[in-house]
Structures are given as C-alpha cells and as structure tokens.
Structure 1
C-alpha cells in the first residue's frame, strides 16, 4: 500500500473521530476534505505531496464555506430563545417589590434569587412588571391593578 493513501485515510479517520469526540461540525468538514484528497490520490497516483497538501487546504476552505452557507444557516430556531438569557426570560413577569425603589433603585425576589431593579419611585410590596434587563439589573414599571 502506498504511504500517501494510508496517510490520507488515517488523517480523514482521525478528523472524523475528533468530530465524534467533540461535536461542533468543524472537524467533520475537514474530514470530508481529507477524504476527497484520499480519493484523488487513489485515482491519480504520483500526485506530488505539495499538490496534495494544497488540495486539502483548498477543499477545507470550500467544505467549510458549504457548511456555513447551506447547513448552518438552515438550523432550526430555538423553541426557547431566552434559555441562556435570564433577564430576557423574566420580561413580562409581575412580582412584588422586596425593597422600595428609592432614587431609581430597588430590589425584587424571584424564586430564591434577589434582583436589583430600576424604575420609578415605588413603595415595598408594590407589584411591578419586568419590562427589560441588563446583566443583573431589571427594569420595571408598576403593574396594572387587577381588581378582585
């Protein structure tokens, strides 16, 4: 067996194994490029090593662009877009003020976490609606009264 055929086969398998160990779709496309070079050296013997390496680099760029254009852009949107953005996930909730808003700053408790809030001056216990957030600070406004 020729050394270049063996080397490209081993390299392609190594890239596919790396993708299996740490999925992210990047090594997969490099593996496809290595497999294409493998087919090239099988079909056309005596291709110089420099040409083989250049073909691998060129095919790697092409395969990654194919992935980025046609496969990555067609990923399904998440059914929970605010999953890792806690402040965005809290927008719309109505909670009571744990500490009054004085000079534009107060505090609410949501589950077992305390959040700093900004908004108009309001006494403790007032129900507020969360309208936005930035890092660990929530913006609030008075919640409309629901008569009971």
Structure 2
C-alpha cells in the first residue's frame, strides 16, 4: 500500500479517537472528512499530489461541518429552559433591592446567597431595581416601583 492511504486512515482514526475522548461532535466531522480523503486516495488508481489531498481534506471538512450545522444541529430538540445555564438571563425581569448604592453607574445586589455587580442609573441602597439584562456576573438594572410584596 501507499503511504498516503495509510496516513489518511491513521488521521481519520486519530480524529475519531479524539472525538471519543473529548466528545463535542467537532472532531467527528473532521474524521469523516479524513475518511473521505482516505477512500479517495485508496480508490483512485493514480497517486494524487499531497497539496491536492490537503485541499480535498479542507473541502470535505467544510462540507461535513456544513452538513452538521444545517441538518443535524437544526434538528436538535430545543430546551424548555433555555436560560438554565445562563444565570443572568434567568434573572431578567426580577425585582430586587440594592444592597449597595449605584454610584457612577455601578452597584451591587444580593440574590439568595450571591452578590451581583449591577450597572444602571445612580440610586441609593435599598432602592428596588428591575433586572433588564446581564452579561456574565454583571446585571443591567433600571429603577422599579416598589410593589410592597
């Protein structure tokens, strides 16, 4: 057998093994691309230049990833709780009390046992604010009318 046939078979197997060790469905598609190049160089009676083989791998990689993004990823079930792992997004709309005043646009609130940095208009401690957005551990807030509840 030729060196290129063994090389592409080894690359495909290594990519499949990498996917098995660290699953994320990305190496899988590159492994399919390497397997396609393996089949191409194995079945063709002439030896393809290395540059053409690498180009075929790039094209097959893009094609397989495109198939994944368009076909498989689009058909994944949607979560009934899309903000589950995005805590700041799950807090949007909630009214909380400022633990520390907002001075120069920055302050803090306590939600359960966690303190969050907030950005918004300057307000004194104890003011009620509504969470309007968030980014990582910083929440955007606006003044909220106290509902008495």
User: Which of 122, 125, 142 pairs up with 2:145?
Assistant: 142
Cα gap change, 1:119/1:87 in structure 2, threshold over 3 Å: closer, same or farther? farther
TM-score by length of 2: 0.70
Q: Which moved more, 1:25-34 or 1:98-107?
A: 98-107
Q: Give the secondary structure class of the aligned counterpart of 1:109.
A: strand
CA contact (8 A) 2:101 2:122 kept: no
Matched, 1:79 2:80: yes
RMSD: 3.2
Number of equivalent positions: 144
Q: What 5-or-longer segments of structure 2 have no aligned partner?
A: none
Q: Which moved more, 1:92-101 or 1:68-77?
A: 92-101
Cα gap change, 1:142/1:119 in structure 2, threshold over 3 Å: closer, same or farther? farther
Deviations 1:67-103 (A, max 9, x none): 2222233333333322343332123434445457799
TM-score by length of 1: 0.70
Structure with max Cα Rg: 1
Q: What 5-or-longer segments of structure 1 have no aligned partner?
A: none
